[in-house]
Chains A and B, each alone.
Chain A
């Protein structure tokens, strides 16, 4: 006879708001449906893309019969870690040359953020993190579960559909000294609104004067402007002043490695000795979470980054993805202008990266899903990567209808 379950009272959790969009999309039987939900790149033909250079790297790995599948060290693949640090901080970064950077391989951006957050919760003295409003939905859960108290700083201005710079400065200025501040390195998710270089400099000065600890989330390096160096500008600006920071890197989008879960957490410290001790403590966070990170994706990245030809090939393919997205922005803006859709839509071409914060409200979004089978997150965020020349007119029609017919 069976005993009853100890988990009998558990209720079903709500769908993840972002991943739930794809679930709903998959259930829709309309032939015209369009998925502008989760931020995964699509080609002009609407297909997922594996970069050629990634396929080449993977083939090399498979063909190398000397390769084994042993456990990586807790901190991951050493080559990968070094190369990742160089990628984001710059090969000539003094912090790297002085051995002040510790880098650990983690499970994409999510894993890097979580490991960093857990480390902070154990070793930092000010257990509060300020995150921009709005931000990627998973940020709050990651930091909260790690034991940090989560507060918001003003970021997006719905009136301008741009940066609320004054609000940002006020809120960070009012934060208790030592607070951690989450910064999107580039291509802010979900708004696509980034500070200018001048604004970044002001942010940096303010943060350093108040002793606020920067924690960068870099999920789109190279993917935003097409230039790896330009997209790392904000991070390098902070590192250049000699101060400390954390940086979470993801290769999900810029190398198309999504499901392989490849990322890195770097901690830039004052001294090499500190960096070494910090690394030893990071291991204590990782070991009881998953012991050591998965080898496959990191091996692909290391193969590409360490070979000059493959690296160059990658930058070309990366720029092509970024350029396609930029052209989709232009096409959508042009299509809305052509239809005379009410409102100022210039934010579509001013915002940067994978996402556009359309400014549509939840009713309008629901309308577009119901009437036009267009799927996006309810905050009006659309993934530009999901658009093609063929589908832009459809989207423009839907936005036009939503804006003119729904409140």
Chain B
């Protein structure tokens, strides 16, 4: 796919310099030569959607969940948690590493309820600013303590991954992932890239519900990947932004991580509550690094805090309180698990509906990948030109890589969407 797959070796900051000009005279600005920045490709889609006056418009751009009426959802468990929190607690600074309670509960989700690593205190973990913040903290940490390392990133990936490691000044390599012809996983090329990377390379892996393709390795494939990582001594950093949201079952969605843990890898994990608890704008997440022993975990955590302090000092308390209130109360936790499954099931249902509609329209193309893929996104296989037609002619908004946010599909618009896709993919 254009744009995201380019191999990037070392990318430096782009600096704009004023050269010899150094006086801000009464008429000129210090910032005269600042270029307007390109719009963020993902967030720019929603901006364009909001500006469109058409009553038929459909937003399948940004990955935020919508119910079957196309409305954003605040989970009941979240509303209840907020009712309990409001007016009851102070707003003191959290420690630099964030809410201890929230981090404890979050580690259980990723590593397992009874994880020996948690019991043995081997995990260095800090509350982070959602998934972005966790990835950025890790990238900064990688830069500081493994300055000669690079990060291997799948093709394609969430666009912001490239920005994060670039701003952390960690050079990037890419590895094969998506297979355009089959609209599935390019497993043999992926394994080749793992084997050919220098021993001890750092890899970014999507734990489940790969963004943007929705293509995940099978369990057997994960086992092979893990094995090859052992052979090569690679470091696995998992970005898990959709736990529970993919299959409806958090443990199942963490399978890749559990396999790596069983195989003895010392991994890193970025976790986000943006989607699975619907806490998007609260910015709640967690960065964890599994260490050899408690002493090392203490050291690593202290260093992660040193990176957080000059960035934001300590993380926001509200979202963390919501999470720990829910996960710390068995009834609320049960409610949450139920609500996550409802969201996941609705998306799975929309996948079936979209595929059925396309097949009923007599589309000559195969749309099996829509139901093979998993999670928030579907990599439709449409070209940028076809996407542009969808937007211009049908007021359907998505990113130009053909990524459809399934959460934006409803029983009300799936027919319209299928018809539009069929139109633009049937004609020349």
CA gap between A124 and B36 in the complex, in Å: 15
CA gap between A43 and B70 in the complex, in Å: 47
Contact A5 B96 (CB under 8 A): no
CA gap between A400 and B245 in the complex, in Å: 62
Contact A259 B83 (CB under 8 A): no
CA gap between A159 and B254 in the complex, in Å: 62
Check B48 for interface membership: any CB of A closer than 8 A: no
CA gap between A58 and B82 in the complex, in Å: 10
Known A288-B136, A291-B130; judge A59-B86 contact (CB<8 A). Answer: yes
CA gap between A258 and B24 in the complex, in Å: 36
Contact flags B35-64 to A (C-beta < 8 A → 1, else 0):
111001001000000000000000000101
- Interface magnitude class on chain A: 35 or more
Q: Indicate which residue in B40, B303, B310 contacts A10 across the interface (CB closer than 8 Å).
A: B303
Q: Which of A183-191, A276-284, A370-378 lies on the face that meets chain B? A: A276-284
Give the distance to chain A from B322, nearest Cβ to Cβ, in Å.
9
Known A114-B312, A177-B23; judge A292-B283 contact (CB<8 A). Answer: yes
Q: Which of B12-20, B105-113, B375-383, B392-400 lies on the face that meets chain A? A: B12-20
Give the distance to chain B from A45, nearest Cβ to Cβ, in Å.
13
- Among B17, B78, B95, B311, max chain A CB count under 10 A is at B311
Known A242-B26, A274-B29; judge A13-B305 contact (CB<8 A). Answer: yes
Check B314 for interface membership: any CB of A closer than 8 A: yes
CA gap between A50 and B27 in the complex, in Å: 45
Complex: chain B residue closest to A244, CB-CB: B30
CA gap between A304 and B257 in the complex, in Å: 45
Complex: chain A residue closest to B124, CB-CB: A7
Contact B31 A278 (CB under 8 A): yes
Give the distance to chain B from A8, nearest Cβ to Cβ, in Å.
6
Contact flags A281-300 to B (C-beta < 8 A → 1, else 0):
10111011111111111000
Q: Indicate which residue in B73, B91, B145, B313 contacts A138 across the interface (CB closer than 8 Å).
A: B313
Contact flags A348-367 to B (C-beta < 8 A → 1, else 0):
00000000000000000000
Complex: chain B residue closest to A290, CB-CB: B129
Known A38-B93, A110-B312, A292-B283; judge A211-B23 contact (CB<8 A). Answer: yes
How many A-B contacts at CB < 8 Å in the complex? Answer: 262
Q: Which of A248-283 contact B (CB under 8 A)?
A: 252, 256-261, 267, 269-271, 274, 276-278, 280-281, 283
What B residues does A11 contact at CB under 8 A? 299
What A residues does B35 contact at CB under 8 A? 277, 281
Contact B309 A16 (CB under 8 A): yes
Contact A244 B24 (CB under 8 A): yes
Contact A13 B306 (CB under 8 A): yes
Interface residue total, chain B, C-beta cutoff 8 A: 91
Contact B300 A7 (CB under 8 A): yes
Contact B166 A288 (CB under 8 A): yes
Complex: chain B residue closest to A102, CB-CB: B31
Give the distance to chain B from A251, nearest Cβ to Cβ, in Å.
10
Contact B310 A12 (CB under 8 A): no
Give the distance to chain B from A71, nearest Cβ to Cβ, in Å.
5
Check B72 for interface membership: any CB of A closer than 8 A: yes
Q: Which of A62-70, A225-233, A318-326, A384-392 lies on the face that meets chain B? A: A62-70
CA gap between A287 and B161 in the complex, in Å: 10
Check A2 for interface membership: any CB of B closer than 8 A: yes
Complex: chain B residue closest to A121, CB-CB: B13
Q: Which of A103-123 contact B (CB under 8 A)?
A: 107-108, 110-111, 114, 121-123
Known A59-B87, A69-B78; judge A277-B283 contact (CB<8 A). Answer: no
Check B195 for interface membership: any CB of A closer than 8 A: no
Complex: chain A residue closest to B17, CB-CB: A125
Check A243 for interface membership: any CB of B closer than 8 A: yes
What B residues does A213 contact at CB under 8 A? 24, 30
CA gap between A274 and B282 in the complex, in Å: 31
Known A7-B296, A59-B87, A125-B17; judge A259-B278 contact (CB<8 A). Answer: no
What A residues does B82 contact at CB under 8 A? 62
Give the distance to chain B from A299, nearest Cβ to Cβ, in Å.
9
Check B74 for interface membership: any CB of A closer than 8 A: yes
What A residues does B230 contact at CB under 8 A? 3
CA gap between A147 and B136 in the complex, in Å: 16
Q: Indicate which residue in A69, A71, A260 contacts B317 across the interface (CB closer than 8 Å).
A: A260
CA gap between A285 and B168 in the complex, in Å: 11
Check B316 for interface membership: any CB of A closer than 8 A: yes
Check A1 for interface membership: any CB of B closer than 8 A: yes
Complex: chain A residue closest to B22, CB-CB: A178
CA gap between A62 and B74 in the complex, in Å: 12
Check A19 for interface membership: any CB of B closer than 8 A: yes
Closest 6 CB pairs of A and B: A259-B317, A270-B29, A295-B281, A290-B129, A288-B163, A107-B312
| A-B CB contact pairs (8 Å), 8 listed | A68-B74, A213-B30, A259-B94, A261-B316, A269-B31, A289-B167, A290-B283, A292-B283
- Given A16-B96, A111-B311, 10 more A-B residue pairs with CB atoms under 8 Å apart are A6-B235, A70-B281, A123-B15, A124-B30, A125-B21, A178-B23, A252-B93, A258-B92, A287-B160, A297-B316
Interface residues of chain A, those whose CB is within 8 Å of chain B, are 1-13, 16, 19, 38, 40, 48-50, 54-55, 58-59, 61-62, 65, 67-74, 107-108, 110-111, 114, 121-126, 138, 141-142, 144-145, 147, 177-178, 211, 213, 242-244, 252, 256-261, 267, 269-271, 274, 276-278, 280-281, 283-285, 287-297
